[in-house]
Structures are given as structure tokens and as C-alpha cells.
């Protein structure tokens, strides 16, 4: 957990919503200079902070509508920091909770050096990252439709499909094997959606690949030098990391990618793992997928997992390989190196 510890003359805490936001501005002595509810509009915000803009820092909790505020502050040369939603427990406790109280607590956390930081993703690559996440959502929808077709086939105890249904050409006569008219209609609807989703996913992939060639093509190709990391996984890792320099150490990166477990200890007693949801779920998925694909391509990876499995079990062994891969990716990007199989398995 990292905190914002810089000192300023003015501290602005914002409880942000889509339509309205509550502002609280404190000075160094902790005196309330402004405490007001207003519309979530750029001009209203700039007018409110105008008397206090000299040496001002603005803080808001990381929720879905922070993009416009961060971009506005960047254009106006105002310091903006984002609060980690899972760490900001100070604004969630208490007997009474409302926007007025929350904004004052956020400003107080800023002033006291206890404001937990989240990463303010730069605007230049942010929209492409969000588009890539949308592609992942569509892929999951496609997987659900394929599973429904398979499950319906099993419900009626029909022979298994001879070919994989993820290809459009293999789904031509799928609905015809069902005698019930309503079931045929349901499968036809699934197939129509699968056809359309396949087209959309291909179009999005082509668009994102064109963008990555502009943003950071060298890093994309460098990531693809890792056995098991293909075009899509390299895109996910690149856009979710954005800049490896924002991680001070390999441990911090592995923690962010959910490749290490959290721990809870008090008075010398351990109470088990914690913080499983803290970190980037997309990076966790990407490294987990990469490990499975690496084991198919590299005999050394399968042998490593087999050795660790004897002592730790299959799940833990694969997690250890994912952690090892995460460390390798960190140093690859830090040193601008390609993946070296011999060095990877030598230690």
C-alpha cells in the first residue's frame, strides 16, 4: 500500500458521482475553506477551486466516473491523485455516512499523508485498454453461448459434436439435430449470436493491434517472445501494465498482478491469507493462461510443474510457475530484453 505524503497549501477531497459531487477544501491547518455540493461539470469545478488553485492537490476515490476529472486536472495543471477503493476504509466506517462527511474524510486523508494511492492511467492508452477489456467480455459471452449449445446437446442425449463449434463453418447444421422446434429455435439464436460475436471480436482485435503498433510495438513483440504468450495475452499484459517503471520492485509488480498471496499476522499469530481481490484481475488471468500454454510448448515447464507438484500439489505448482513468469516479465521490460528459456529454468 502506498500513500500520498506530499505537503500542499490546499487539499481538495471530492466525493464523486455521475451527476453531482461534494467538494471539501482544507488548508494546511485543517480549516475548512469550502464545503459544497455541486454538479459534476468541468466549469462548476474550476469555478469552485479558483480561489485555492495555488498549490492545490485534488483527491477522489477510484470509481467508474473519474476519467473526466483526471483529464481536466491534467489539462489545467492541477495535481490529481486517485484513492484505492479497497484501501479507503476510513470513508466507509462510522455511524453516519453521507457525501458531505466522505468528502471531508478524503480531504483529511490527503492532508494527513494517509491517502492510499491507485494508479491514474494516462489518457493516451486508457481507451484502448478499456476496449481490450470489452473484447474480453465479448469472448466470455461467446464461451457461455458455446457452453449452452453443448449442454443442450447433452440434455437430449445426442452424439457428441465431431468438430469444435468455435468455428463458424462447423456450426452450419447444428440446430438440425434437435427434433423439438423450440429447442431448434434456441440453438439457431445461439448460433446467430456466435456468428456476430465472432465478427465483432475479430474487428476489435484488428483495431487494437493497429493501436499497439503506435503505442508500444517493441514491448508487444518482446512479450510475444515468451512461449505461451501470444498476440492477445501480450496485448493484455502490455495495456494493463502500461509502464513498468511505475513499479519500484519486482515484488510490488507481482503483488499488483495477484501472483503472491497476502498475509495477516498479529502478535506472532498468522490468521491466513487476505487481500485476494487487491490487484489487477486481468494480469492474474493473463499469467495463468500463459502458464497453461507454456506447459504445452515447453517440456521444461511441464517438468518444473511436475517437480513442484510432488511437494505442493498441482494448483500451487502452477501458481509458482506463474509467479516465476511474472518476475521474468518484469525484468524483461525493465531491461528491454527478450525471453531466454535457458536462463528462465536455470534458477
Which tens digit of pLDDT belongs to each residue from 5-46? 999 999 999 999 999 999 999 999 999 999 999 999 999 999
Predicted local confidence at residue 81, as pLDDT? 98
Residue 292, pLDDT > 90, answer: yes
Nearest by Cα to 14 from 4, 5, 24: 24
Q: Which of 57-66, 135-144, 259-268 is predicted with the least confidence, judged by mean pLDDT?
A: 259-268
Closest by Cα among 162, 163, 166 to 190: 166
70: which residues sit within 8 A by CB, 6+ positions away? Answer: 80, 82, 120, 123
pLDDT mean over 286-292: 97
Residue 26's closest CA among 39, 13, 45? 13
Average pLDDT, the chain: 95
Query: What are the start-end ranges of the E strands in 29-78?
Result: 32-39, 56-61
> Taking a C-beta distance cutoff of 8 angstroms, is the pair 25, 34 a contact?
yes
* pTM, two decimal places: 0.93
Q: What share of residues in the chain are helix, strand, coil (percent, to 5)?
A: 55, 15, 30
What is the average per-residue pLDDT within 240-263?
95
Amino acid at each position: 500500500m502506498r500513500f500520498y505524503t506530499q505537503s500542499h497549501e490546499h487539499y481538495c477531497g471530492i466525493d464523486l458521482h455521475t451527476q453531482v459531487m461534494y467538494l471539501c477544501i482544507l488548508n494546511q491547518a485543517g480549516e475548512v475553506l469550502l464545503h459544497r455540493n455541486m454538479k459534476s461539470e468541468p466549469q462548476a469545478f474550476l469555478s469552485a477551486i479558483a480561489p485555492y488553485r495555488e498549490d492545490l492537490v485534488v483527491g477522489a476515490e477510484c470509481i467508474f466516473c473519474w476519467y473526466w476529472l483526471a483529464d481536466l486536472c491534467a489539462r489545467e495543471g492541477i495535481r490529481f491523485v486517485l484513492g484505492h477503493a479497497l484501501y479507503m476504509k476510513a470513508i466507509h466506517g462510522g455511524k453516519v455516512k453521507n457525501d458531505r462527511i466522505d468528502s471531508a474524510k478524503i480531504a483529511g486523508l490527503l492532508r494527513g499523508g494517509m491517502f492510499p494511492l491507485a494508479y491514474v492511467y494516462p489518457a493516451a492508452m486508457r481507451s484502448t485498454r478499456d476496449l481490450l477489456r470489452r473484447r474480453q467480455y465479448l469472448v466470455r459471452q461467446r464461451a457461455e453461448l458455446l457452453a449452452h449449445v453443448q449442454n443442450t446437446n447433452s440434455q437430449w442425449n445426442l452424439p457428441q459434436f465431431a468438430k469444435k463449434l468455435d468455428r463458424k463453418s462447423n456450426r452450419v447444421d447444428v440446430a438440425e439435430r434437435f427434433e423439438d422446434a423450440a429447442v431448434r429455435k434456441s440453438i439457431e439464436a445461439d448460433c446467430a449470436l456466435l456468428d456476430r460475436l465472432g465478427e465483432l471480436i475479430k474487428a476489435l482485435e484488428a483495431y487494437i493491434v493497429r493501436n499497439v503498433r503506435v503505442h508500444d510495438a517493441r514491448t508487444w513483440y518482446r512479450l510475444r517472445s515468451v512461449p505461451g504468450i501470444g498476440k492477445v495475452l501480450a496485448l493484455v499484459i502490455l495495456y494493463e501494465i502500461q509502464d513498468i517503471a511505475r513499479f519500484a520492485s519486482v515484488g510490488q509488480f507481482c503483488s499488483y498482478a495477484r501472483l503472491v498471496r497476502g498475509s495477516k499476522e498479529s502478535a506472532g499469530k498468522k490468521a491466513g491469507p487476505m487481500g485476494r481481490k487487491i490487484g489487477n484481475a486481468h494480469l492474474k488471468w493473463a499469467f495463468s493462461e500463459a502458464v497453461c500454454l507454456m506447459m504445452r510448448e515447453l517440456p521444461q515447464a511441464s517438468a518444473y510443474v511436475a517437480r513442484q507438484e510432488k511437494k505442493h500439489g498441482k494448483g500451487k505448482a502452477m501458481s509458482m510457475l506463474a509467479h516465476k513468469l511474472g518476475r521474468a516479465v518484469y525484468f524483461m521490460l525493465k531491461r528491454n530484453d527478450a525471453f531466454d528459456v535457458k536462463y528462465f529454468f536455470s534458477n
